[in-house]
């Protein structure tokens, strides 16, 4: 059971992972901005039906561009405007996906 808990998604650890991956970035982002991106990624998953336990046949394939476009629009809709650099936002998204992949057992 402890192994299962070790592999559970932890927002704080995800934020740490992302921020450490952005250490060389020219712009610094805070925890609030990173959490907004994480929330938008999970909004995307919900939109695609990937979080539903009832729909095992949901299409779980998507492109970086599809995810980036959704997250960008979602953030704008929430009034988060600090991600004017598409490359920075894409890097944050990829780091979050890398964090998720690290949890697979």
- Give yes or no for residue 42 having a pLDDT over 80: yes
- Give yes or no for residue 50 having a pLDDT over 60: yes
Over residues 20-27, mean pLDDT: 82
The DSSP code for 10 is: -
* pLDDT at site 28: 82
Q: Name the pTM for this structure.
A: 0.83
Tokens of 53: 């336990």
Positive or negative, the CA dihedral 99, 42, 60, 29 is negative
* pLDDT at site 48: 87
Residue 42 CA: distances (Å) to CA of 7, 53, 80, 104: 17, 15, 16, 17
The DSSP code for 40 is: H
% of the chain at pLDDT higher than 70: 85
């Amino acid at each position: 059971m402890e192994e299962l808990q070790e592999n559970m998604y932890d927002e704080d650890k995800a934020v740490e992972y992302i921020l450490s991956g952005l250490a060389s970035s020219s712009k610094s982002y805070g925890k609030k901005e990173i959490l907004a991106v994480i929330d938008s990624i999970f909004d995307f998953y919900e939109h695609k039906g990937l979080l539903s336990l009832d729909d095992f046949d949901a299409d779980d394939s998507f492109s970086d561009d599809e995810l980036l476009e959704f997250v960008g629009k979602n953030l704008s809709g929430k009034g988060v405007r600090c991600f004017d650099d598409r490359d920075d936002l894409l890097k944050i998204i990829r780091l979050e996906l890398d964090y998720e992949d690290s949890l697979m057992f």
